[in-house]
Homo-oligomer: A and B are copies of this chain.
Amino acid sequence: MSTIPFNKPYLTGKEVHFIYQAVASGKISGDGMFTKKCHSFFEKRYGYQKCLLTSSCTDALEMAAILVNIQPGDEVIMPSYTFVSTATAFVLRGANIVFCDSRSDRPGIDEDKIEALITSKTKAIVPVHYAGVACDMDKIMDLAAKYNLFVIEDAAQAIESYYTGRDGVKRPLGSIGHLAAFSFHETKNIMSGEGGMLVINDEKFIERAEIVREKGTNRSKFFRGELDKYGWVDIGSSFLPSDIIAAFLYAQLENIDDIQKKRIALWEKYMELLAPLKDKFSLPVIPPYATNNAHMFYIVCHSIEDRTKLIAHIKANGILAVYHYLSLHKSEFYENKYQGPELHETDRYTDCLLRLPMYYELTMDDVEKVCKTIESAQL
């Protein structure tokens, strides 16, 4: 029986060729030729003020935590339904994480529940654009302005996704908060195995970001000829990836339109075929202010029992579907530290959300097979 995996990394065909070029250039440490090409690509296509490739989205979030100067005891508000790195990046700087529940219609942070969590210690809000679908950024930026907070968009899944605010302007995700973090892990639309990027939308962070990314040194200035030697001026780490990784990523970026077109067609096919089953589980909701980047197709079952049954049923038919995050506030690491209320929606997505196969080389026939198999399950 042929199987349909949950994810399969897609190669445009040029990755290894570009890696060969990077290697031939004689510079394959960080900030080589392809890193610069990637930075330019993002800055031109999305109008981001400054982009810096990192080794991972985790690294980009850690840079953000350093840049907004998180100190022990500072509070950072984020959803509990997110990847561990959203939280650890701030915990490493001593932050207390204040977990906010998800919306009832989708797993993004419930924007209307944030304000009640703000205290005098709150330093930042980290909205996560789950499945690449925009949070309602107007509400979040209003709170940030009102309480003088930083907003760091966790845009790990949100490449090529947009938000249209009340001013009617359509902005790419990652361009709205003060800082944003993207992932190019192999499970993402555009990927390089491991990889990430920090986007800086507030000019005041740029100079320090370059320093923090270069182990706390002013080496970037030195390489531009602005200094005659470089030294240790700040805290930092080695956040920059090899140019081999950037070369791989650039091959993907050149094909972003093709990749997105294909993924969106697959996503819409899922939506069309599963719509008749909407009493058996919930389907994804794209609000009017958001676009869909087809990062993920998920359904939300009515119960964990339904989900367990469904996973087993479709696995028996050679299809791999997987659940996603576990409520961070109930994790072994945070359980004893968490003092907030029950987060019912978070727990519901933890128990009931199921991600279906979604990757470039998935075929329409595969999607039909998946949907028919789901239809045949006894829910």
Q: Which residues of A contact B (CB under 8 A)?
A: 8-9, 11, 15-16, 19-20, 23, 26-30, 55-59, 62, 72, 83-85, 87-89, 91-92, 185-187, 192-195, 215-217, 229, 231-238, 240-245, 248, 326, 328, 331-334
Contacts and interface: CB of A to CB of B under 8 A. Distances in A.
Give the number of times this chain occurs in the complex, counting copies.
Answer: 2
13 contacts: A9-B27, A16-B16, A30-B194, A85-B237, A88-B236, A92-B92, A193-B244, A216-B333, A231-B326, A233-B332, A233-B333, A234-B333, A244-B245
A241 B55 contact: yes
A235 B9 contact: no
A193 B238 contact: no
B88 A235 contact: yes
A56 B8 CA distance: 27
Contacts of A234: 333
B215 A85 contact: yes
B232 A88 contact: yes
A29 B232 contact: no
A26 B10 CA distance: 9
A169 to B, nearest CB: 34
Nearest to A237: B58
Given A194-B241, A326-B229, A331-B233, A11 B30 contact: no
Nearest to A187: B29
Contact of A237 (B62, B186, B217, B333): B62
A209 to B, nearest CB: 15
Nearest to A212: B88
A322 to B, nearest CB: 11
Contacts of A233: 331-333
Contacts of A8: 26
A30 B186 CA distance: 10
A194 B334 CA distance: 33
A271 B238 CA distance: 34
Given A16-B23, A84-B216, A194-B241, 19 more contacts: A9-B27, A11-B23, A28-B192, A28-B193, A55-B55, A55-B56, A55-B59, A84-B236, A88-B215, A88-B216, A89-B237, A91-B235, A194-B240, A232-B326, A232-B331, A232-B333, A234-B333, A244-B245, A245-B245
A229 B327 CA distance: 13
Nearest to A66: B92
